[in-house]
Amino acid sequence: MGKRYDVAIIGTGPAGVSAAITATVRNKSVLLLGSASVSDKVSKAHMIQNYPGLPDIPGQELAQHFLDHLKKMEIPITDRKVTMIYAMGDYFSLQIDQEFVEASAVILAIGVSFGKPFPGEDENLGRGVSYCATCDAALYRGKEAVVVGYAPKEEADVRFLAEMAQKVTYIPVYKKEDAAAMAPELFPDRPNVEVKQVKPLGIEKRDGRMVLATDGGEISADGIFLLRESVSPGKLVPGLELDGNHVKVDRKMATNLPGLFAAGDITGTPYQYVKSAGEGNVAALSAVSWIDSLKK
């Protein structure tokens, strides 16, 4: 992935799919990132009654139409997770796992599935709270860390962190089984990992230590790692201006960062498929204008 794409589109709901189609029609190179089976929120809809031309269509069928349309236009979906988007000035750098990909413009169409932050989370971000174990692990050499993982793939990060940290307490929020019994099985070569099945409630800094309040009592450590499936847009794109829980955009779907556009539920209500598709179209056309202005 050494080349620089014209536009990277993040999200495969109606906004992302629509943006990818329009950008491709306008002859731009597109990197479409998201779920290969398009957004769950489309396929799980029972019935959509107001999508023009497709009366009373079940979500699953609409999702199939989206996939067919992308296939017909030869737009592949890259099913990988973007962890960070950096505004570098006249281009963007997207961190995908440990790899960096460049794009001249970015369209953010990630929906609104992210949860609320824990009390105390935002205030302590970067001051004891981290979202990236592989990024900050080396700062925890000989120290204690708590990791809250939202998917089994985070177990690899726990193993990595446990190589450096003196002690790691792992809270897998996705597991239902008895967690205490899981540690030897999950981390056979990491005796310094303790697994706890508790529900995190809030974060506090006390006497220079980070304290995680849970329904099973407090856990204190030097740092707390929160490894979520999706992060809020402000954390995904440092410097992005928000309007409450949504990304602030103008009528051209432009954000405060030149070259970065947003479309769909992420820009605010109404949460409607057809509104998202329309915004995806506007965002793509705005991105095309931006890309053309760069080439002048």
Partner 1 sequence: MSVKKIDSPEFQDAIKSGVSVVDFNATWCGPCKMLAPVLESLSEEMAGKAAFYAMDVDDNPDIAQQFGIASIPYVAVFKDGQKVDEQVGFVPQPQLKAFVERNL
- Per the listing, tokens 């002048």 go with 296
| Nearest by Cα to 23 from 293, 296, 286, 294 | 286
Q: Which stretch binds partner 1 (CB under 8 A): 7-15, 29-37, 38-46, 128-136?
A: 128-136
Question: Phi and psi at residue 208, in whole multiples of 5°?
Answer: 80, 0
| Residue with Cβ nearer partner 1 (8 or 87) | 87
Q: Which helix (H) or strand (E) holds 256?
A: none
User: Which residue lies nearer to partner 1 by CB, 76 or 239?
Assistant: 239
> Under the criterion CB under 8 A, does residue 216 sit at the interface with partner 1?
no
Residue 238 interacts with partner 1 (CB under 8 A)?
A: yes
Q: Does 174 bind partner 1 (CB under 8 A)?
A: no
CB 37 within 8 A of CB 43: yes
Judged by CB under 8 A, which of 1, 36, 60, 100 binds partner 1?
Answer: 100
Q: Could you identify the residue written with the tokens 């099973």?
A: 216
Q: What is the rounded CA–CA span in Å between residue 293 and residue 296?
A: 5
Sole binder of partner 1 in the list 257, 262, 263, 285 (CB under 8 A): 257
208 close to 128: Cβ distance less than 8 angstroms = no
| SS3 category, 40 | helix
Question: What would you report as the CA-atom Rg of the chain, rounded to the nearest whole angstrom?
Answer: 21
Contact status: 125 vs partner 1 (CB under 8 A):
yes
Structure tokens at 260: 């970065």
Q: Stretches 41-49, 50-58, 122-130, 170-178: which one binds partner 1 (CB under 8 A)?
A: 122-130
Residue from 138, 151, 180, 181 binding partner 1 (CB under 8 A): 138
Q: Near partner 1 by CB under 8 A, which window of 34-42, 104-112, 135-143, 183-191? A: 135-143
Count of residues engaged in binding partner 1, rule: CB under 8 A:
24
Q: Is 25 in the site for partner 1 (CB under 8 A)?
A: no
What lies within 8 Å, CB to CB, of 183 at 6+ separation is: 170, 193, 194, 195
242 binds partner 1 (CB under 8 A): no
Question: What DSSP state is assigned to residue 266?
Answer: G
* Residues from 58 through 87 that contact partner 1 (CB under 8 A): 84, 86-87
Helix (H, G, I), strand (E, B) or coil at 82: strand
What is the spatial distance between Cα 134 and Cα 98, in angstroms, rounded to a whole number? Answer: 9
- Residue 270 as a binder of partner 1 (CB under 8 A): the answer is no
Please, which residue, 10 or 257, has the CB nearer to partner 1?
A: 257
Contact segment (CB under 8 A) with partner 1 among 37-45, 133-141, 183-191, 196-204 equals 133-141
Q: Two tokens at 60?
A: 């699953």
CB distance 101 to 93 below 8 Å: yes
Nearer to partner 1, 77 or 108 (CB): 108
Tokens of 180: 């205490």
Of 1, 36, 139, 180, the one binding partner 1 by CB under 8 A: 139
Given candidates 2, 89, 217, 244, which one binds partner 1 under the rule CB under 8 A? 89
State the residues that interact with partner 1 by CB under 8 A: 84, 86-89, 93, 95, 98, 100, 125-128, 130, 135-136, 138-139, 208, 222-223, 238-239, 257
